Amino acid sequence: GGASTAAHKKLAKGCMEEAEQGASLCSAAAATDHLLSFLHERGSHIARVSQCMYDYEDGIGVLEHESMGHIYSLIAKPIQTT
């Protein structure tokens, strides 16, 4: 019910805060290694998008498994720029 949803949101928020703290520790190493910096940035964006989709759904009313498919496609099939 509502208590379970509130607990999940609190847990997810705590995980994001821990990830952001860890990211600040890695930023010095990432500054010298371009690949590490790129991967760190992309991972952070994926985590933020995932959290936003979890909190607010995707805004168009698709089923939950379809939203997860979109997230997996972002990881496995990046957007082509050329």
Exposed (0-12), middle (13-18) or buried (19+): which is 19, by Cβ within 10 Å? Answer: middle
| Tens digit of pLDDT at every position of the chain (82 positions) | 566 777 767 777 777 777 776 666 666 665 667 777 777 778 778 877 777 777 766 655 555 566 667 677 777 776 666 6
The whole-number pLDDT of residue 31 equals 62
This prediction's pTM: 0.39
Q: What are 77's two structure tokens? A: 């099939």
**Residue 32 DSSP one-character state:** H
Cβ pair 18, 12 in contact under 8 A: no
